[in-house]
Amino acid sequence: MTPKIDCVTVSPEASLELLSPSEVDQLVRQTDPNLFRTFRRCALAVLNTGNVNDNTAEILEEFKDFDIRFIRQARGIKLQLRHAPASAFVDGRMIRGIREQLFSVLRDVIYVTNEIRNSHRFNLATRSGITDAVFHVLRNANVLHKGETNPLVVCWGGHSISRDEYDFTKKVGYELGLRDMNIITGCGPGAMKGPMKGATIGHSKQHIVNRRYIGITEPGIIAAESPNPIVNELVIMPDIEKRLEAFVRTAHGVIVFPGGAGTAEEILYILGLLLHPSNTRMPFPLIFTAAESSASYFDTINEFIQQTLGEQARARYEIIIGDAAQVARSIKSGSDQVFKFRRKHKDAFYFNWKLNVPKELQSPFEPTHDTMRKLNLHKDQPVHLLAANLRRAFSGIVAGNVKEHGIKLIREKGPFELEGDPEIMEPLDKLLRTFVEQNRMKIGEGNYKPCYRVVR
């Protein structure tokens, strides 16, 4: 049983200093149940940093007595927490970094509810409307810094990785920090924490003051991947698709470490973008990297990509094994090309407006047994659309593994079924079996029961 704090009151710091009277009233009276439920879930994840359980349903059950009350005060609100995880406190006081993250969550949940979902300011049925919403959430969170030319490097990879793999992510982060590059990850443990931890040392050695460790997440995944303690800028996007778009719009390069279904989803997302005809000439460094001991991981990924998406996709990324310094040099060189391209085309360095994100990669995908079975996993479609549909397949597997709604569906109706051309399904089945054999689907799961079934 996780130790809990019976009752404590917390005031805002830095990230939520100003609220309008109507916003305060909305929170105190809990007039929007969806806002409150979303905030409670995300707040619990922030307070539960360090928990190694990645089953959202189990976490919510363990803390079903966790409660939040909003108390009105002269300049806004303060929070009264009951039965919060004791690990978020030192001698009865909440750790400052966790407190900042807690109010970052509230900032984003209020903004998304009032300004994105309920205001009708953004037409979320259009590509431009979705991108505009992503921009405004990031701007409201002060992620976008005009005039800053230090590259932001997105690091993707699994939350369930080996010690050797984790240590290598730290080495890469260290080399990035030495070269004055900042880090964006999904904010959780494993390959999301390692690069940030390594970068702190590199930044310190170079006496770099303005260090940025940005974590971008969304309500459906945050309970399974609580923000790691190094994150100093936390952003909650409305859903997984807007989270992925936020990554690529702010990134000047992407590094991918070994991972499971979530990492495969991210790989297919970025390949779906880079394979779109309107993006093929845009520089965007994409590097797959691992320790020497995990070289076979990207052999498997590379084979899967070649068999399903072809050589055109293979040409869009570089594989570097065991050489952290070379990874950093390559991503720095690539980000220099990005800067030159954006300057030439008069595009902002802090937000990639020219990148064409097709609707197939923007529209929220709700994984159910019906939608998973109906996915178009056939060869007779443009390669960027095939990548988008494969991305949805892995998104459904992630939901079935760790998200509350997905876990419930699997429990009630059995595994999702995936069906398509043999030329796609056989490599897909092989890749998924490799993830299971290497314990990459869930933390500490030696007896993982698949939430999917590949139909042949």
What are the extents of the domains in the chain? Answer: 4-121, 134-456
List the single range of 54-58, 170-174, 287-291 with lowest mean pLDDT: 54-58
Which stretch of DSSP H or E encloses residue 213? strand 213-217
Q: What is the mean pLDDT of the chain?
A: 92
Euclidean distance between the first and final Cα of the chain, in Å?
A: 44
d(CA 187, CA 195): 11
List, for residues 203-256, the tens digit of each pLDDT value.
999 999 999 999 999 998 887 788 999 999 999 999 999 999 999 999 999 999
pLDDT for 34 equals 86
Tell me what percent of the residues of the chain surpass a pLDDT of 70.
96
For 117: left if phi > 0, alpha if psi spans -120 to 50, otherwise beta; the answer is: alpha
The structure tokens listed for 429 are: 């089945």
Averaged pLDDT for residues 80-108: 91
Q: What is the mean pLDDT of residues 79-86?
A: 91
DSSP string, 280-341: TTS---EEEEE-GGGHHHHHHHHHHHHHHT-HHHHTT-EEEES-HHHHHHHHHHHHHHHHHH
| Averaged pLDDT, 317-336 | 98
The gap from C-alpha 85 to its chain's centroid, in whole angstroms, comes to 23
Range name among 40-54, 169-183, 324-338 with the lowest pLDDT average: 40-54
State if pTM tops 0.75: yes
Which tokens go with 192? 């999301």
Is pLDDT of 15 > 60? no
H helices, E strands: number in the chain: 18, 14
> Would you say domain 4-121 falls under CATH 3.30.1850.10?
yes
pLDDT at residue number 445? 57
In this structure, are residues 264 and 303 in contact, taking their beta carbons and an 8 Å threshold?
Answer: no
Around 254, how many Cα atoms within 13 Å sit in the side-chain half-sphere? 27
- Does residue 83 carry a pLDDT above 60? yes
- At residue 20, does pLDDT exceed 60? yes
Domain 134-456 has CATH 3.40.50.450: yes
Given phi > 0 = left and psi -120 to 50 = alpha, else beta, which region is 139? Answer: alpha
Q: Tell me the pLDDT band of 53, cut-offs 50, 70 and 90.
A: low
Domain 4-121 and domain 134-456 have a common topology: no
In this prediction, residue 222 carries a pLDDT of 87
Burial, 48: exposed, middle or buried (Cβ in 10 Å; 0-12, 13-18, 19+)? buried
Contact 394, 261 (CB under 8 A): yes
- Residue 322 has which token pair? 């065991």
| Bridge partners (DSSP) listed for residue 7 | 82
CA within 13 Å, CB half, 197: 15
Backbone angles phi, psi at 90, to 5 degrees: -130, 120
Written as six digits, the tokens of 101 are 């993250």
Check residue 49 and give its pLDDT.
81
- 33 versus 434: the higher-pLDDT residue is 434
Q: Which range among 92-96, 180-184, 348-352 shows the weakest confidence by mean pLDDT?
A: 92-96
Picking from 47-56, 170-179, 180-189, which range would have the lowest pLDDT averaged per residue?
47-56
Provide the H-helix boundaries in 251-323.
261-274, 295-308, 311-314
